[in-house]
Amino acid sequence: MGFDFGTMMETVNRLSTSDHTSVVSITVFVTLVCTCIVLGHLLEENRWMNESITALIIGVGTGVLILLVSGGKSSHLFVFSEDLFFIYLLPPIIFNAGFQVKKKQFFRNFMTIMLFGAVGTMISFTIISLGAIAFFQKLGVGLAIGDYLAIGAIFAATDSVCTFQVLNQDETPLLYSLVFGEGVVNDATSVVLFNAVQNFDLSHINTTVALQLIGNFIYLFISSLALGVLTGLLSAYIIKKLYFGRHSTDREVAIMMLMAYLSYMMAELFYLSGILTVFFCGIVMSHYTWYNVTENSRVTTKHTFASLSFVAETFIFLYVGMDALDIEKWRVVSDSPKTSISVSATLLGLILVGRAAFVLPLSFLSNLTKKHQHEKIDFKQQITIWWAGLMRGAVSMALAYNQFTRDGHTQLRGNAILITSTITVVLFSTVVFGLATKPLVRLLMPSSKQLDRMISSEPVTPRSFTVPLLGESQDSDADLFAETEHDPESREYDNILRPSSLRMLLTKPTRTVHYYWRKFDNTFMRPVFGGRGFVPYIPPSPTSPFEQNGHHHWQEEEKRGEDKH
């Protein structure tokens, strides 16, 4: 067999050119991310713009420039990959959302969040799917039943990233908590629904298949949540027992980051919802693991997770903006622009109707369980929640590419129409609805006096959700017991043993959920997993007296922590 030197050199040159192209692409992309950060800082106080919309517009502009330079061949530096999105970019965003969340406000509205995020998404999924079946066939877009159901899951997914940046946690704490929590649960529910639809034979739908679909959804939801909690508790136990900080804080930071990412990948490995898993892993880590590490590691992890999340968000919107001008798919539908526009308009209409169909009735149900008037969701707030959840983003894009393309490419007319329509809906909803959200919130929000009363129980936090929200004042015993120990209305019902009705049980509980959780947490969880009150000590040697008295030292610190609150 002869040695072909010319062939070898040609291969080397091709690989070198490919590597250089990748370097150029990455260099341009990093430059664009830096540009977005600078512009986002300059536009921080702008009443219309936010960083996600800025990144999206820059991405579209860069795509136009690349399209002109390449002579109409390509508009992006990278081919859109749902694997890149789901495996590398989404986990840090969702984990940081759980890690930085104000747990007291989140769990105070937990039932409403689950109503909106799970039940509401199911309602929206049903309406969008049925609407697609009814209208798309009239528009000449023939799809399989599984594709119609996939469309329901794709467009039921809200753009939680953009919503986080539009709403302000200090100005509208109730709205932020509801939209924030619903956004994360909504994304997880949409992905679970999407996976469930793909895993079932939907050629013959009957009652049995529908029940199996619902059962599979409930199983995935509960299993994903449990995996996230268990992984978070495991990280807390390992760090509490092994005292990484006595040698290096780097190990503490590394094990927290890797355990968080491991929770997401384990969920994907077992075909669960990685979004839900890593979100609740973040909540558990912020409650236990974060308090078990040294002070230096606490500061480092807060800023590291926030920074990774911020960069990933910016990267996603740039990515989506560039891919919006993917000439290959637009060329396939160029002979039928009227059909593409009609499909996009139909999808936008179904999104509007589908969201209104659950926000209004579920808000009414939630208000029945509220005791105080300021805790109820009034009509103006319902309108704002409806509007803030209309934006569609990278999750919808990734699911659409997963369903209607192969390796980012498609030559099928129906699939190309759905991809281009998804791009149109994402761009229109993010830019138009996103730009109008801030003014709408300012127009509809209550008077400053009522607003001050609503936020008086919340610690002051930075403007952006990506800035660390964890602090020593968060979730203190005083905060969590406040509803029963400092509220005269709550003390009035302390002696009631049995509510006379279910509604009384919901609206005037004898003890709050926080009260019983805190007792359980103090008695069983924190002695094992650490958390607030646990102060990690650094023994000088395994045989020193300090090591032998370590348990006593922890008990003393725990007692002082409880006395303080």
- Sign of the torsion angle spanned by Cα atoms 436, 439, 441, 443: negative
What residues does 406 pair with on adjacent strands? 409
List per-block mean pLDDT (blocks of 10 residues) for the chain, which spans 565 residues: 55 56 85 90 74 85 85 71 84 89 80 90 93 88 85 88 64 78 85 80 71 82 93 94 82 93 94 89 94 91 92 87 77 78 93 94 89 82 88 86 75 83 90 82 62 39 38 41 39 42 48 73 88 62 43 46 44
CA distance 89 to 311: 9
Q: Which CATH class is domain 82-451?
A: mainly alpha
Q: Which long-range contacts (CB under 8 A, 24 or more apart) does 441-445 make?
A: 441/166, 441/167, 441/168, 441/171, 441/172, 441/175, 441/384, 442/47, 444/380, 444/381, 444/383, 444/384, 445/171, 445/172, 445/380, 445/384
At residue 471, the pLDDT reads 39
Count the neighbouring beta carbons within 10 Å of the beta carbon of residue 69: 11
Closest CA to 427 of 465, 396, 384, 389: 396
3-state secondary structure of 539: coil
Token reading at 184: 């994360």
As a whole number of Å, the CA-based R_g of the chain is 26
Closest CA to 159 of 320, 393, 356: 393
At residue 67, the pLDDT reads 84
Taking every pair of Cα atoms in the chain, the longest distance, rounded to a whole number of angstroms, is 95
CA distances from 82 to 298, 376, 399 (A): 32, 39, 7
299-323: b (≥16 Cβ within 10 Å) or e: ebbbebbbebbbbbbbbbbbbbbbb
CA distance 201 to 192: 16
At residue 7, the pLDDT reads 61
At residue 161, the pLDDT reads 67
At residue 92, the pLDDT reads 93
CA distances from 207 to 146, 202, 203, 534 (A): 16, 12, 13, 52
At residue 289, the pLDDT reads 93
Look up the pTM and report it: 0.76
Q: Which amino acid is at 454?
A: M
What residues does 409 pair with on adjacent strands? 406
